[in-house]
Structure 1
Amino acid sequence: MLILVASLSVPAAADAAGLPRIASINVCTDQLLMALADPGQIVGLSPYARDPARSWDAAKARQFPQLSGAAEDVLVLEPDTVVAGRFTRLATRQLLKDKAVRVVEFDAARSLDDVKKAIRLMGDVVGHPDRALAEISRLDAAIAHAHQVAARKPYRVLAVSRRGWVSGRDSLTSSLLANAGLANAAGDLGIKTGGFASLETIVNLKPDFILVSEDSGFAEDEGSAFLLHPALERFYPASKRIVIPERLTVCGGPMLAQALERLASELERVDR
């Protein structure tokens, strides 16, 4: 869930095609980079790029070198630019800068407007602004479609994950819901970015639906068992659960168009 923060200018042409060679050391910048760069521009991706639970395009990531996340791996590749998260290990980012490597840092996105800025700016970094504009148009179309479907009723939705963690009013999930014309029920709890809510609080809040990342009916551990509690299943069976895989919402990027399309299809399912 990332937006470009700073400020450094796009580098001069670095290869025969006039495009920079880029390494990513963050799972979210991985996905922006894969969506917008030519394959030949990508010299390496973060350790989590191939993780299907976190990475939207884990299959595509397998064609690129997997980095350890340490600066030494990156320096060997001699990229023109490294893209990283603002919360990527500070020592790694600083060492790269000390070695005169251009590091472009991204912050967490909390709105779809932030996501659009990130797509546009990454398009500039990789030298493909036209692709960025196409992805933004696709995202806008998905927003319009989801809003059209959600306009039937003013639903309140609560995004719930492990151990009762809920996404607050100033979160990317809340922005996704708002752009679709839905209300984030967490706003009634006064939760800003996110926090834990008890089972009793969730039930008493009475959202129309809960949004979850999976609904397999199987708990792998105690954290995921929260969503299978008998009380929660009683009030929120499958017909009251909107399921959007975490890999579509964990980062801010082109995958959110797919998340919105999934949201629209889930609303059509539960409205039947």
Structure 2
Amino acid sequence: MLKRRKRLPRLSGLVLLVGALLVVPVSASPKRVMSLNLCTDQLAMTLAEPDQLVSVSFLAREPSLSMLHEKAQRYPVNHGLAEEVFLENPDLIVTGTYSLHNTTAMLKRLGFHVEEFSFAQTLETIPGEVRRMGALIGQEKRAETIADDFTRELEAIAAGQCGKAPTMIAYDQNGIASGRGTLADSVIRAAGFANLAAEMDIVGVAPFPLEQVITAQPDVINVNVGHTAPTLGEYVPRHPAIAALPDTRIGAFVPEGSLSCGTPSVIEAVRALVALRAEIAPCPGSATQ
């Protein structure tokens, strides 16, 4: 009997300890999140609470790259340096798989919680990236709403398409075109266009000869707006031979920076091209006829 009485207090304490562990959450939401990559910047700014995100990369403020460049003005910027991370001492670091490998490896070795995101190459991958970021920063409900809205809008756009798809090419400086497997290709197809580069077996981002563009005479050529530091390569998409194509629409038809990253903001590029398609190839009986 005496031995049993001695064990009871210990057993009670163990039960209380187990109960307390069950009540405590497995992992609390990070209070200090730091982003070192342009694309994770935009995902984090979309989902995080204002005081939860402590720093974004300096590229987040660049209008030609970031759809959220105005929102990025609210946050301190970093250049992806380990020293900057040490000073901020974040609970969570989010970055890209192609960003500053040495810094990422060092931070992991030093015990920082680092999560890497790959560059989303298609519209279909974006909802998953949104949900993953939401889960990491404790914003699951907000992420689910954004991801669902994004998917539903794409489905509605696809359901409203009709007729033969007009041809289009995303043509950049030095005569570079976006072919199969690129975010631009995914956006072009979602908006109801046929990507000329993809149809001519271009995979990824690759040179597309000016002569082929002239011969194919696409319905639309999308070019980027001028950069702050002009180069001779920028004149290739604006060559006089292209400008002379009689029935080709040439211009910057998608918002600046909208094709840089696979984030929910890319829906703005799809919407812009959907409106363009409705203008040049309206469905029978539509109001635009």
TM-score scaled by structure 2? 0.81
Question: Which structure: larger Rg?
Answer: 2
Report the residue type matching 1:34 in the other structure: M
Task: Tell me what 1:257 maps to.
Answer: 267
Alignment of 1:137-156 (within 5 A): 137-147=148-158, 150-156=161-167
Q: Taking structure 1 as reference, are residues 128 and 222 closer, same or farther at Cα in structure 2, changes over 3 Å only?
A: same
Q: Taking structure 1 as reference, are residues 29 and 23 closer, same or farther at Cα in structure 2, changes over 3 Å only?
A: same
Q: Taking structure 1 as reference, are residues 19 and 154 closer, same or farther at Cα in structure 2, changes over 3 Å only?
A: same
Does structure 2 retain, via aligned residues, the 8 Å contact 1:46–1:68?
Answer: yes
- Please give the alpha-carbon distance, in whole angstroms, between the structure 2 residues aligned to 1:80 and 1:242: 40
Deviation, structure 1 residue 238: 7.2
- Please give the alpha-carbon distance, in whole angstroms, between the structure 1 residues aligned to 2:246 and 2:100: 39
Q: Taking structure 1 as reference, are residues 100 and 207 closer, same or farther at Cα in structure 2, changes over 3 Å only?
A: same
Residue of 262, 277, 280 corresponding to 1:267: 277
Task: Tell me what 1:123 maps to.
Answer: 134
- Please give the alpha-carbon distance, in whole angstroms, between the structure 2 residues aligned to 1:148 and 1:251: 25
Residue of 223, 228, 232 corresponding to 2:238: 228
Deviation, structure 1 residue 66: 0.8
Verify: 1:93 aligned to 2:108, yes or no: no
Q: Secondary structure at the match of 2:57?
A: coil
Report the residue type matching 1:224 in the other structure: E
- Please give the alpha-carbon distance, in whole angstroms, between the structure 2 residues aligned to 1:240 and 1:116: 31
| Root-mean-square deviation over aligned CA pairs | 2.4
- 1:227-249 CA deviation, whole Å, 9 max, x = no partner? 22111111177735461134111
Task: Tell me what 1:134 maps to.
Answer: 145
Deviation, structure 1 residue 148: 5.3
Q: Which has the higher contact order (CA 8 A, sep 6+)?
A: 1
Q: In percent, how many aligned pairs have the same letter?
A: 30
Task: Tell me what 1:38 maps to.
Answer: 49
Task: Tell me what 2:17 maps to.
Answer: none
Q: Taking structure 1 as reference, are residues 219 and 32 closer, same or farther at Cα in structure 2, changes over 3 Å only?
A: closer
Deviation, structure 1 residue 169: 1.0
Verify: 1:77 aligned to 2:88, yes or no: yes
Does structure 2 retain, via aligned residues, the 8 Å contact 1:154–1:181?
Answer: yes
- Please give the alpha-carbon distance, in whole angstroms, between the structure 1 residues aligned to 2:167 and 2:249: 15
Count of residue correspondences: 257
Q: Taking structure 1 as reference, are residues 145 and 213 closer, same or farther at Cα in structure 2, changes over 3 Å only?
A: farther
Task: Tell me what 1:4 maps to.
Answer: none
* Unaligned ranges ≥5, structure 1: 1-9
Q: Taking structure 1 as reference, are residues 12 and 197 closer, same or farther at Cα in structure 2, changes over 3 Å only?
A: same
Q: Secondary structure at the match of 2:142?
A: helix
- Please give the alpha-carbon distance, in whole angstroms, between the structure 2 residues aligned to 1:152 and 1:163: 33
- Please give the alpha-carbon distance, in whole angstroms, between the structure 1 residues aligned to 2:172 and 2:250: 15
Deviation, structure 1 residue 38: 0.6
